[in-house]
């Protein structure tokens, strides 16, 4: 079985016609295990300047923009994925899509709110990522992160993708060492949790 990088995997998904924004109800229900009502209740993105880490094809951004956020910046490492997101979100003018790795992306003191779903599975240097997000938030800004317990490898049938899972306790330790304050940890079940953290 072929071992594929994260970037290659997501570009191949676009080539294969995979677009989560267009998922049928069954797949949407599956994705809700990461970002269901608990996640969206935590966001409260209305009238906020928002950063999405790993915007993908715009599945979550579409909901956040429709909820009334002031402006949304979405970053992703895949050009093909961002091209699809631009198409999917073309009705919105209050959005900027940027091809960037969160480990290299920082806009000091810019955002009221940041959020991420699934992306942290693919990030090896999570501490640097957290620092960049922390420094990109305004004072009292919020970061909402959905996490799950995963294996080291993701088997996609024809290919495998290396993941970098850590335990919930390790996320908490890293957040606290970065300077964040934990506001809430809400576990959906034994595998999924939403972490709400604030910038001091």
| Residue 25: count of CB within 10 angstroms of its CB | 7
pLDDT for the residue 27: 67
Q: Which residues, at least 6 apart from 99, have a Cβ–Cβ distance to it below 8 Å?
A: 75, 76, 77, 78, 79, 82
Tell which CATH architecture fits domain 2-199: 3-Layer(aba) Sandwich (3.40)
- How confident is the model over 126-175, as pLDDT tens digits? 999 999 999 999 999 999 999 999 999 988 888 999 999 999 999 999 99
Within a 10 A sphere around the Cβ of 2, how many other Cβ atoms? 9
Task: Give just the sign of the alpha carbon dihedral 69, 115, 187, 160.
Answer: positive
| Average pLDDT, consecutive stretches of 10 residues, N- to C-terminus, the chain (200 residues) | 90 87 72 81 93 95 95 97 96 98 97 95 96 97 94 89 94 95 89 91
pLDDT for 19 equals: 84
- pLDDT for res 153: 92
Domain range annotation of the chain: 2-199
Torsion of CA 129, 61, 143, 135, to 10 degrees: 50
- Report how far residue 80's alpha carbon sits from residue 7's, in angstroms, rounded to the nearest whole number: 10
């Amino acid at each position: 079985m072929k071992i594929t990088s994260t970037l290659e995997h997501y570009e191949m998904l676009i080539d294969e016609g995979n677009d989560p924004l267009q998922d049928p109800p069954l797949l949407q229900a599956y994705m809700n295990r990461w970002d269901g009502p608990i996640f969206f209740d935590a966001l409260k993105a209305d009238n906020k300047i928002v950063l999405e880490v790993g915007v993908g094809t715009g599945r979550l951004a579409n909901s956040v923009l429709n909820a009334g956020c002031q402006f949304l910046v979405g970053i992703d490492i895949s050009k093909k994925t961002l091209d699809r997101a631009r198409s999917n979100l073309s009705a919105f003018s209050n959005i900027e899509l940027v091809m960037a790795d969160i480990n290299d992306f920082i806009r000091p003191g810019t955002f009221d709110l940041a959020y991420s779903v699934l992306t942290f599975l693919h990030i090896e240097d999570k501490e640097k990522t957290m620092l960049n997000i922390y420094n990109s938030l305004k004072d009292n800004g919020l970061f909402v992160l959905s996490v799950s317990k995963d294996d080291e490898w993701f088997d996609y049938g024809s290919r495998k993708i290396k993941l970098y899972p850590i335990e919930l306790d390790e996320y908490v330790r890293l957040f606290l060492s970065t300077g964040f304050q934990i506001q809430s940890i809400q576990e959906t079940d034994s595998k999924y949790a939403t972490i709400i953290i604030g910038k001091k």
